[in-house]
Amino acid sequence: MKKTIFTGAGVAIVTPMNADGSINYNALGTNIDYQIENGTDAVIICGTTGEASTMTDEEHIECIRYAVERVNKRIPVIAGTGSNDTGYAAELSKKAQELGADALLVVTPYYNKTSQRGLAAHFTAIADSVDIPVILYNVPSRTGMSIAIDTYDALSGHKNIIATKEACGDISFIAKLFETCGDKLDVYSGNDDQIVPIMSLGGKGVISVSSNIIPKETHDIAQLCLDGKYTEAAALQLKYLDLMNKLFIDVSPIPVKEAMNIMGMNAGECRLPLIKTEQSKIEALKSAMINAGLIK
């Protein structure tokens, strides 16, 4: 059996920006400490929520370096190193390993996409390039393609491919994934509204957007599942369900950054092409935050 990278709730942490669009490392450090102090079990840096797609290479590498140093081995740091260019992803993955990342998060190729055979070759090449664990990332709504069950089964035999972040939204598909891969592949929920269903099937936790603003509560949902207390976990999941859904009222991470700013957490704005959401959506988000007890 492969060694699990983490159990519980990992935060897909946002990248705070200054007014001029540069990265606000002071705010990032404050947010990392806040996450750890509130029970978050892993930090995922430079993912979709972290706006890695609009970072320069230098920024991407510096964010990973900064997160590794700030966390200082308190919890695992997982670096997003995915790309639709296999060679580039492999080089970035090697650099993340050199910087001290504990694991990698690697998304399926986008735009040029590929076949299932191509997917297997892509992920294998990246996993072959490093000696640290790799978490696959299946998010069809973002990339336009999905990892098939047979492809998962083949990839789960690789010694470095430890887990997947599943954000397909299809519980039946995920149940089939558990049935097929068993203990050869850990599964993390990639959707905050599906933590309890996925963990009830055997999932190890969640890689969460909501953790940016409710780290303790998201950790507690996952921990209750790990403790076998699914009724309590479900009650907590449902308590925050509207808030979790409102964090996707616009393209992520626009809403979660808006929520953080409302809470005084200094996230700044997103980089283009993402722009500030409409006032009506901000009001809906605020209403959910009030109901969740985050603001008055």
Q: What residues act catalytically?
A: 137, 165
DSSP structural state of residue 199: H
| Bond preceding residue 215 cis, omega within 30 of 0 | no
**Residue 141, SS3?**
helix
Q: Tell me the DSSP string of 206-225.
A: EEESGGGT-HHHHHHHHHHH
Neighbours of 277 (CB within 10 A): 18
Q: Return all residues near 168 (Cβ < 8 A) that are at least 6 apart.
A: 138, 139, 140, 146, 174, 190
Which residues are 80's β-sheet partners?
105
Nearest to 223 by CA among 245, 208, 209: 208
End-to-end CA, the chain: 48
